[in-house]
Each structure stands twice: as structure tokens, then as C-alpha cells.
Amino acid sequence: MSERLGPPLGAPLFDRLALIGIGLIGSSIARAARRKNVARVIAIADESTQARDRAVALELGDEVVADAGDAAAGADLVILCVPVGADEAVARAIAPQLKAGAIVSDVGSVKGAVIAAVGPHLPRGVALVPAHPVAGTEQSGPDAGFATLFVNRWCILTPAAGVDAAAVAKVRAFWEALGSNVETMNAAHHDLVLAITSHVPHLIAYNIVGTASDLEETTRSEVIKFSAGGFRDFTRIAASDPTMWRDVFLNNKQAVLEALGRFSEDLTALQRMIRYGDGEGLFALFARTRAIRRGIVEMGQETAAPDFGRPHDEDGDGGS
């Protein structure tokens, strides 16, 4: 997108920010947090030697370590930027190092499972404020991040009932400083909404691209050679991190299956329209879905530009 972060803040919001995991989202947070001066010290932990080496080379943090507990020690805000399936292990690792008054958050696109996995391991006096920045690309790794990834994108907070309101306000201020529009909702509602808007579309993309890969060799090569916009964009989605999406589907099983059931019913209705030549029904459906696209553009979550609104990265900041 063409938006840019505004000028840096005055005093930092946090003295020490710990990022556990330095992939696309973690590295984008590090870049944006540095540019906006939201933390005096940025500590990074990642199990991967290669990821740590890149984080050091890219100067993403003040401290880069292998152990999550070392990064979390003394931190005011700890953000888990790992696949949701790893959250419980990370919570166990950092719990002994968390100081009283610390805030733990995350960036996963599933929230109910995160609360269940992380909450029980946090010591008393530590607030859990789950967050989901609804932003990303199909790329992964420290080099994939860019500071403007979150600008004008939604970040959804899903604190459980009774969580310290001041902690929630601080996490809101953090994401607003990074350029996000912030919404708060309960975890179950979040998981159902995201099942429709993100999880099932990804599952469909994986399935369609998988179907193409199962075709005979000659036909498969032609599918790749003559990829039009529709299939090409499915391949972009299907190129997303396989570990992350495996964990999403396994940890949001109920909502995804519910959404898939509704999708299957609608797909059957569409098959009938085609089979019986119901042109009027097809036109009505396509007109309704076209209006959804226009609504997304009007809300500023996409542009009406060609090529699915994706920029061509002339400034090197990456695309969203």
C-alpha cells in the first residue's frame, strides 16, 4: 500500500519489547517498532541459527538470542510471533522469567486456542492480551518483513474477561503506533469471523493448487504456463507458510468445519445453477459478490488498482 508510518513517537511506550520468533510478522514488528520508537530496547529470540544471523545482519534488535526466556527476562511486553502450535511450549519457557506487570501478547490468527494454551502458564500479575494483526504476505523469514505492513490494517485484540484494562490499553496503543486500526472482540467470535474471511479461503486455495498438481504432467505444465489472474492469485495464497497454516487449521477446527459446511452447501447450489442453466441465479450471485469486493475497497482494506491492488515495490518496502 502507499501509506507510510508517521513520525516517531516521543517517549517509548515500553522500556523492553521481546519478540519471540522473527519471521515475517516478527521482523515487521521490529522494523515498525524501531521506526516509531515504541520501545527503548528490542530483544529477539529465535531457535533458528539462520534466522538469528539474519536478524543481526538486518539490525532488527538490540539483543538477539536463542532462548525465549532470556529475551523475555525483564520485558514489559512479550509478543509470541511463532506458529500457534508452539505457543504453549514458549509460554512454559518464558513464564519463570516474566516480571510482575509484564504483558504477554501474540500475533496468531486463532485466538481461543492461544488463550487456552498460554494463559494457564503465566504467573499471577502478568496480563495476557492476545492480538491478531490482520496483515501479511505469502513470504516468510526475517528478510520478508517491512515496517509498513500494519499501516491501515486491522489488529484484533481478544482479551479474556477480567484482564487488566490498562494492559489492554497499552497493547492497543502499541498497535495504533504501528499504524493499525484496532478492534476488540471475544475470542470465539474472532475465530468464527476469521474462519470465513481467512482460513477457509486459504484452505480452498491449497485445495485448488493441489488439484492442479495432481493433473497429468502435460496438462499441469499448461496450467502453470497459462495461469490467469484467478489461479495465479490462488498460488500466491497457497505459497503461505505451511507450518503456520497447519497449526491454524488444527487449532480452529470447529469454526473452520462450520464454515466449510456452509461453503459446501453453497457450492452445491452453484452446481445446480450451472447444471440447469440458471443464468438469472448465476448473475444474481455474481452481482452480490461483486458488491462485497467494492465494499472492501471502500473500507480502505484494498485498492481498486489493477493486479489485485498489489504494489510493484519500487520503494523496496515490500507489498501487503
Q: What is the pLDDT of residue 304?
A: 58
Residues 26 and 173 in one domain: yes
Q: What is the pLDDT of residues 164-175, one digit of tens each?
A: 999 999 999 999
Q: What is the pLDDT of residue 262?
A: 87
Residues 40 and 141 in one domain: yes
251 is written with which cell numbers? Answer: 487449532
Q: How far apart are CA 46 and CA 31, in angstroms?
A: 16
Please report whether residue 53 resides in a domain: yes
CB neighbour class for 143 (10 Å; exposed up to 12, middle 13-18, buried from 19): middle
Please report whether residue 302 resides in a domain: no
Residues 251 and 115 in one domain: no
| pLDDT bucket at 152, cuts 50 / 70 / 90 | very high
Most confident of 212-216, 235-239, 310-314: 235-239
Please report whether residue 70 resides in a domain: yes
Q: How far apart are CA 104 and CA 109, in angstroms?
A: 16
Q: Which residue has the higher pLDDT, 212 or 278?
A: 278
Residues 78 and 219 in one domain: no
CATH number of the domain to which 153 belongs: 3.40.50.720
Residues 83 and 197 in one domain: no
Domain containing 219 equals 189-276
Helix, strand, coil shares of the chain, percent, nearest 5, are: 55, 10, 35
Average pLDDT, the chain: 86
Which of 124, 153, 185 is where one domain is finished?
185
Kindly list the distances between the CA atom of residue 228 and the CA atoms of 21, 150, 206, 234, in Å, as whole numbers in the listed order. 35, 29, 17, 10
Q: What is the pLDDT of residue 316?
A: 36
Residues 45 and 193 in one domain: no
Determine the distance from the C-alpha atom of residue 139 to the mean position of all C-alpha atoms in its chain, rounded to a whole number: 12
pTM: 0.78
Residues 223 and 173 in one domain: no
Q: What is the pLDDT of residue 292?
A: 74
Q: What is the pLDDT of residue 307?
A: 53
pLDDT at 319 over 50: no
Residues 31 and 109 in one domain: yes
Residues 193 and 163 in one domain: no
Closest to 135 measured CA to CA, from 145, 146, 149: 149
Q: Which of 14-23, 25-34, 148-157, 237-246 has the least mean pLDDT?
A: 237-246
Please report whether residue 141 resides in a domain: yes
Most confident of 100-104, 220-224, 278-282, 303-307: 100-104
Q: What is the pLDDT of residue 235?
A: 75
Q: What is the pLDDT of residue 229?
A: 62
Residues 70 and 155 in one domain: yes
pLDDT at 179 over 60: yes
CATH number of the domain to which 200 belongs: 1.10.3660.10
Please report whether residue 295 resides in a domain: no
Q: What is the pLDDT of residues 304-313, one digit of tens each?
A: 554 544 553 4
175 is written with which cell numbers? Answer: 498497535
Q: How far apart are CA 124 and CA 245, in angstroms?
A: 32
Q: What is the pLDDT of residues 278-304, one digit of tens each?
A: 999 999 988 888 877 777 666 665 655
- The domain tally of the chain equals 2
Q: What is the pLDDT of residue 1?
A: 36
